[in-house]
Amino acid sequence: MLTVIGIGPGSEAMMTEEAVTALKEAEVVVGYKTYTHLVKPLVGDKEVIKTGMRKEIERCYLAIELAQEGKNVAMVCSGDAGIYGMAGLILEIVTKEKRDIQVRVVPGITASIAAASLLGAPLMHDFCHISLSDLLTPWEVIEKRIKAAAEADFVICFYNPRSLGREGHLARAFELMAPFKAATTPIGVVKAAARKKEEKWITTFGEMEYERVDMTSLVIVGNKSTYISDDLMITPRGYKL
């Protein structure tokens, strides 16, 4: 059995009971080293296999091979296993190579949901997720998605917004959105949601400070109806009050 577990954004309080139970039942835990550290209190003396950044394919094959040996394996992912997580890659390998193992996917709280709860209620109407990492997606494709989402007036959640290797991607995203976003459009940023160094702030499109954002941040861009009140970011769904 191979269980792909979404462990949420960082704290045990934001893990589902199903995720906690699956971790406790596993014989071996596999994951990116940061994520295995986050679940260390739940893992105890189980065997833990961890890999570094950009070792996703290697990590998946390790988990699959251990499961084929008859072990109960847990593959841990931050947030939700099926949103920028490992569920897709695991299932691709298993189905394409016809691996004879059972795979179960356990959902978790993704970063946008965790961030939204800290900011207020910015996701009350249609929204989308866009990753600004171009490691696996051509930047030209990402630019098209940004412009289309902004023109359609979606609330936009930016994952992987800024890193040492992609310092200008977030600023470029804002340039692409500028024709469709007023300077007063609310922007919410949450850094390290549900972790020890959690930080949040609300600003506007015209006053956005890109330098404060890093890879642990989630940036939420409001739509035309989103407003700020009492340090809360709120997107009305359309109820008549």
DSSP annotation of 212: G
The CATH architecture assigned to 2-109 reads 3-Layer(aba) Sandwich (3.40)
Burial of 103 (0-12, 13-18, 19+ CB in 10 A): buried
10 φ/ψ angles, rounded to the nearest 5 degrees: 170, -35
Give the integer Cα–Cα distance in Å for 40 and 217: 23
Q: How many CA atoms lie within 13 A of 164 on its CB side?
A: 0
Whether residue 37 contacts residue 52, with contact meaning beta carbons closer than 8 Å, is answered with no
| 123-134: pLDDT as tens digits | 999 999 999 999
Give 88's pLDDT tier (boundaries 50, 70, 90).
Answer: very high
Arithmetic mean of pLDDT, 127-144: 97
Residue 10 has pLDDT above 90, yes or no: no
pTM comes to 0.94
Whether residue 181 contacts residue 150, with contact meaning beta carbons closer than 8 Å, is answered with yes
Name, in order, each residue with C-beta under 8 angstroms of 240's C-beta and a sequence gap of 6 or more. Answer: none
Give 53's pLDDT tier (boundaries 50, 70, 90).
Answer: confident
Decide whether 2-109 matches 112-234 in CATH topology: no
pLDDT number for residue 5: 98
CATH superfamily placement of domain 112-234 = Tetrapyrrole methylase, C-terminal domain (3.30.950.10)
Q: What percent of the chain has pLDDT over 90?
A: 92
pLDDT number for residue 49: 95
Q: What are the extents of the domains in the chain?
A: 2-109, 112-234
| 156-202: pLDDT as tens digits | 999 999 988 888 999 999 999 999 999 999 999 999 999 989 999 99
